Amino acid sequence: MSQKYAAIHYASYLQLDKILGAQKSRSAEFGKEAQDEHLFIVVHQVYELWFKQIIHDLKAVYTIFAQSKVQEQDLSQCIHLVERSISIFKLMVQQIEVLETMTPMDFLEFRNYLFPASGFQSFQFRICEVMLGLKNKYRITYNNYHYHVFFDEAQKKELDELENAPSLLELMEQWLERMPFLEMGDFNFLDEYQEQLKEMLALEKKEIQETPYLDEHMTQIRLKMLGDAETFYQNIFDKTQYQQKLDEGEVRISYRAMLSILFISLYRHEPMLQLPYQLIVKFSELDEFISLWRFRHTQMVKRTIGQKIGTGGSSGADYLLQTTLKHAIFSDFYHTSTLMIPRNHLPILPEEIRKKLNFLYT
């Protein structure tokens, strides 16, 4: 038999001796083992294994989008890999339920042995965050420290290299900016969209004014809300104002990338836009489930230690809640939902563009 197909045992293949021998209870070292410390260790080790898988898959997506031209046939692979990361985060959210079988009293039996260890020191999770696009300038500071101070020199170097390299968010932005359909021939998507938007808002105003079901007070409230929406649209499509928001960190992607997401989302039924739309949705979902995992972690910490300071010295649940609210990465991808208009108001695409957006068989 060739060496390539030599027999191997299940335990050897999975290196179970290393994995199953890696649960070292600190409480046991100090005299009496706390029953739930073993669970605490296992759950966090499983998290780290899942982070390793996510990094492995994100690197493959990164390689595809780092190219100057992203091949259409590679998009389905990217969608598949991002979908898997979503499934993993869903599972990690469920794992919190297992950890919550440990009561506050159970945790107190070994918590003092953990100082100053903290989940904040998870190197792999920091890699996930930075690869996706959570660079240092967008982070909430942890006790006024740069987040990489807790890692060794080799790890700091790796994180710095990631900080200085384009993130997946930035690579996606570049890819979106290259989309050619916003201006083609005599067609200008933004002009056509704004024209349809004006018609839609004028029609809504007429319907509010003419409906017999609203009294004068409610009519004025609805008209004011409609006026506020119109002002919002005008501000969004003012390129100078948008750039100011970008400079101030209120938005993360360029004006053209935002318009591309809007175009893809509105015309997602066109064959060539279906995969790009799915990819945008999947990155939005990944962001959502990372935030959900953060939030569930926050709730678990609140339930387990209340208002106590975290083992790593953070403000505990308060710090974790802030990261949930502030550390979103792809929020600009789903904020364009605000700009959606009904299908009957969609600008009609010229036949030349429709043909380019179709799959052709010759």
pTM (2 d.p.)? 0.90
CA atoms within 13 A on the CB side of 88: 22
pLDDT of residue 312: 53
Residue 33: is its pLDDT beyond 80?
Answer: yes
DSSP state of 329: S
Q: Where does the pLDDT of residue 143 fall: very low under 50, low under 70, confident under 90, or very high at 90 and above? A: low
| Residue 82: pLDDT over 60 | yes
- What span, in angstroms and rounded, lies between the C-alpha atoms of 330 and 279? 12
Q: What is the pLDDT of residue 292?
A: 95
pLDDT value for 316: 67
Band (pLDDT 50/70/90 cuts) for residue 318 is: confident
Q: How far apart are CA 85 and CA 87, in angstroms?
A: 5
E strand spans, the chain = 183-184, 187-188
* pLDDT higher at 3 or 338: 338
Residue 4 has pLDDT above 80, yes or no: no
CA 97 distance to own-chain centroid:
22
Q: Using an 8 Å Cβ cutoff, are 304 and 107 in contact?
A: yes
Res. 314 pLDDT band, cuts 50 70 90: low
Q: How many whole angstroms separate alpha carbon 288 and alpha carbon 281? A: 10
> With helix as H, strand as E and coil as C, how does 231-256 read?
HHHHHHCCHHHHHHHHHCCCCCCCHH
Decide: 155 and 123 in contact? Cβ < 8 Å: yes
